[in-house]
Homo-oligomer: A and B are copies of this chain.
Amino acid sequence: MERVKILVVDDESRMRKLVKDFLVKSNFEVLEAENGEEAVDMFFAQKDIALLILDVMMPKMDGWQVCREIRQYSKVPIIMLTAKSDERDELLGFELGVDEYISKPFSPKILVARVEAILRRTNQQEEVSLEIGGIVIDKTAHQVKIDGQSIDLSVKEFELLSYFVENKGVALSREKILNNVWNYDYFGDARTIDTHVKKLRSKMGEKGEYIKTIWGMGYKFEVQA
């Protein structure tokens, strides 16, 4: 099992180190950013950050702003660190979708407990396996079965199919696919998608037809005729 990534954002390196130490001990992988801008960049460059811990007070871009920017694209859980309890702006946080506040100073146990609670809560909602039209995608096992028959997919193919299934019925532009399945900073040829779609379709046999071409637009995964 791969370790869960947490991004810690604080301008004080001592604080970052402190938080990091606690989390690393609890077997999380910790990334650090020392200001809001760096945090946002890092979040979108990395694709699999499971939780953010944000200091409210930071130069350049404060925690609220980071929260806003990230919430435009992601529902990743966010914990806010506040110096005093009156720095907590519950109202603003509510609007922005903050999951939890922790006031400094905090005990290591509290921090880890909250992090684990939130991850447990959110992971429950996340589906581990998707099923549609005889296609079963097991994200944990990284395996796909079609009518009970396991098929071999490369990583990209797997991710692409997952993305399609997660967005079944939704018309997806190539650009959108690129931004979601490929890394945010990938600037290659959009035709790459076509090639992967071709392979996916062929590996999926007759169920490959579920991946529909929308001319001049992109693709759409849909089960009905």
The complex places the Cα of A91 from the Cα of B113 at a distance, in Å, of 7
CA distance A105 to B116 in the complex (A): 32
Copy tally for this chain in the complex stands at: 2
Contact B110 A95 (CB under 8 A): no
Count of chain A residues with a beta carbon within 8 Å of a chain B beta carbon: 24
The DSSP consensus for interface residues of chain A is mixed
Q: List 28 A-B contacts (CB under 8 A).
A: A91-B109, A91-B110, A91-B113, A94-B113, A94-B117, A95-B113, A95-B116, A95-B117, A140-B169, A140-B170, A140-B171, A141-B169, A141-B170, A141-B171, A141-B220, A141-B222, A142-B171, A142-B214, A142-B217, A142-B220, A143-B171, A154-B215, A154-B216, A155-B214, A155-B215, A155-B216, A155-B217, A156-B216
The 3 closest A-B pairs by CB, nearest first: A142-B171, A155-B216, A91-B109
Seed contacts A95-B113, A140-B169, A141-B220; 5 additional CB < 8 Å A-B pairs: A91-B110, A140-B170, A142-B171, A154-B215, A154-B216
